[in-house]
Amino acid sequence: MIKKILPILLFVAMPVVALFSCRKANTNTSDLTRNYFPLTLGKSVTYAVDSVYYFGSVRLKTEVKSQLKYSITDTFTDQLHRLSYIMDVYSRPYDGAVWYPIRVILITPTATGLLYTQDGTQYVKLMFPVANGFSWAGNQNAQWQDTTYAYLKNWNYTYQNYHLPYFDGYESFDNTVTVLEDNEHVNYQNIDSAVSGYDTYAEEIYAYNVGMIYKDWTHTTWVDSSQNKSGYSVVMQAIDNQ
């Protein structure tokens, strides 16, 4: 069965949620590996974004270059009385253009991990402490009954390359960890004749005291060996952090 894509994954603003604001300091912890996603008010990371969208029904391929900025701007208490963080996301078409807001991401640190809610879907982005080879069901809270999100089911996040340096194409980082979220290939377009299939790859890399510095999310589907594939591929590379 062909999994459906998550439409306009990175470029549709989610509705603003009514929140109770509270100004509190960062959560205290003795686990230093939590610093791969530092939760500090004012923290921001800017990315160069290369997106490719495939529209199989009309045989159209569209490439888009832009910049995104993720900035932690406030805190609130969720329904379970947990300290949570608001991360505003801004977009602009090129360096020097005016930033405009496109979405709000909600982040809740727990005793064992990091809950990350984007576009109405909650992910367990990280688990603590970080350790090579550790795996978890990062999309366990996704709404799989909604066909839009069905392809997220059964992803198995795994830590790799812990405490290794990484160059993201723009900047070098001394201490990083890779999260391989999914790597699925069902049939191969232009090889398996007249069969449907899909290709899903998701990887994120985090730098110590910075946060996410690289992201590659790809999900395409096709109904035969022609070029009529649908889906997207988005690559984000950190170019600045504050």
**Is the model more confident about 222 or about 167?**
167
* % of the chain surpassing 70 pLDDT: 83
Q: pLDDT, tens digit, for every residue of 166-177?
A: 999 999 999 999
Structure tokens at 85: 């963080």
What CA–CA distance (Å, rounded) separates 44 from 89? 10
Q: Rounded CA gap, 126 and 112, in Å?
A: 9
In 178-236, which ranges are continuous DSSP H helix? none
pLDDT of residue 72 exceeding 90: yes
| Angstrom distances, CA of residue 67 to CA of 30, 105, 109, 237, 238 | 34, 17, 27, 9, 10
Question: Can you tell me the mean pLDDT for 146-159?
Answer: 88
Q: Six-digit token pair at 78?
A: 């969720």
- State the chain's mean pLDDT as an integer: 86
Q: How confident is the model at residue 29 (pLDDT cuts 50, 70, 90)?
A: low
Q: How many CB atoms lie within 10 A of CB 197?
A: 20
